[in-house]
Amino acid sequence: MKKRIIDYQKTDTMKCNNTQINALLTAYLDNALTPEESKMVEAHLNDCSDCLDELQEIRTLHLQIEHTPLIDPPTDAERRFRQMLEKQHKPQKQSITITVDFSWKKIAAAIIIFLAGAATVLLFQSKTDSDTSSIAHLENQVSQMRQVLMTALIKNDSPSDRLKAVQYAEQISGPSPEVTNILLETLNHDPSVNVRLAAANALHQFAVHQEVRTKLAQSLQQQSDPMLQIVLIKMLVQFHERSMVPTLQDFSHDEKTHEMVKKEAEEALTVLL
């Protein structure tokens, strides 16, 4: 028989029938047991020579594994990685961009109307309220005005007006729960996909709040448009929102899911721990 550095005599099949304790032996050697479990194992080892032998066998195997060197990756692995990294340095769009086919003229008009409105507020404020009119106060006024405009526009029949409303919502600083609710409502129920997309985009900035994310994850469940599904997944994965995991799993198993959505969902699943 060959001489072995790690000396070991194999015992016959282990006879210990306390399978519960026996199953803990590996964890015992790894110091992974609770203090109570450790005590139980130690007490058992006092009377069970089978388990004591097995413990020795486990140690021997662990030692062998420790002495087994890892295989070196190909020598160009690091170079390949750096090449990949270089490519990422080329300017890329950071945020989620959504293409919505609305008329830029209409938006421009809305902005001009809006600016005129803001100027009126400013003038009005500085004349009557010169002592208290701090910038913050004015900003607040402007935000309120946007909110009023938005709440009025969102009820409009024309999709382009509702789009405008959503655009206003996006500019409201320190949004009120009403604004987020209107946006969520729009996201879930507006008949026009474009308006829904714009609402999703506007909600992006509020997604730092957990309540909003929970609602967005719920919304993802109901959306049937692939573009919207993708936008919502991208948004939520950024915030590591795990409540969408079941929905993603559904997407990935459902044959009717759009191929691109499926891919997006599967990738997102791999990074959500």
Partner 1 sequence: MDWLSDEDIMLEVKQGNIDALSLLFKRHHKHLFNFFLQTGVEYHHSEDLTQQVFYRILKYKDSYREKAGFRKWMFTIARNIMRRHFETRKRHPEQELPAILLNISERQTIDSEEEERIKALYKALEKIPPQDRELISLSRFQGMKYEDIAEITGTTVGAIKVKMHRALKKLRDLYFEKADH
Residue 183's SS3 state is: helix
CB of 18 to Zn ion, least distance (A): 5
Distance separating alpha carbons of residues 21 and 34, to the nearest angstrom: 13
The contact pattern for Zn ion, residues 29-68, with x = CB under 5 A and - = no contact, is -------------------x-xx-----------------
Q: 108-133 in b/e burial notation, b at 16+ Cβ within 10 A?
A: eebeeebeeebeeeeeebeeeeeeeb
CB of 76 to Zn ion, least distance (A): 51
The contact pattern for partner 1, residues 85-124, with x = CB under 8 A and - = no contact, is x--xx-----------------------------------
Question: What are 48's two structure tokens?
Answer: 């069970």
Q: Which burial class, exposed, middle or buried, applies to 50 when counting CB atoms under 10 A from its CB (0-12, 13-18, 19+)?
A: middle
Query: Which CB sits closer to partner 1, 110 or 236?
Result: 236
CB of 257 to partner 1, least distance (A): 16
The contact pattern for partner 1, residues 34-73, with x = CB under 8 A and - = no contact, is -----------------------xx--xx-xx-xxxxxxx
Give whole-number Cα distances, 205 to 95, 175, 193, 213, 261, in Å.
11, 10, 20, 11, 23
Distance separating alpha carbons of residues 41 and 20, to the nearest angstrom: 10
Residues in touch with Zn ion (CB under 5 A): 16, 18, 48, 50-51
Residues in touch with partner 1 (CB under 8 A): 2-6, 8, 10, 22-27, 30, 32-33, 57-58, 61-62, 64-65, 67-74, 77-78, 80-82, 84-85, 88-89, 237-240, 266-267, 269-273
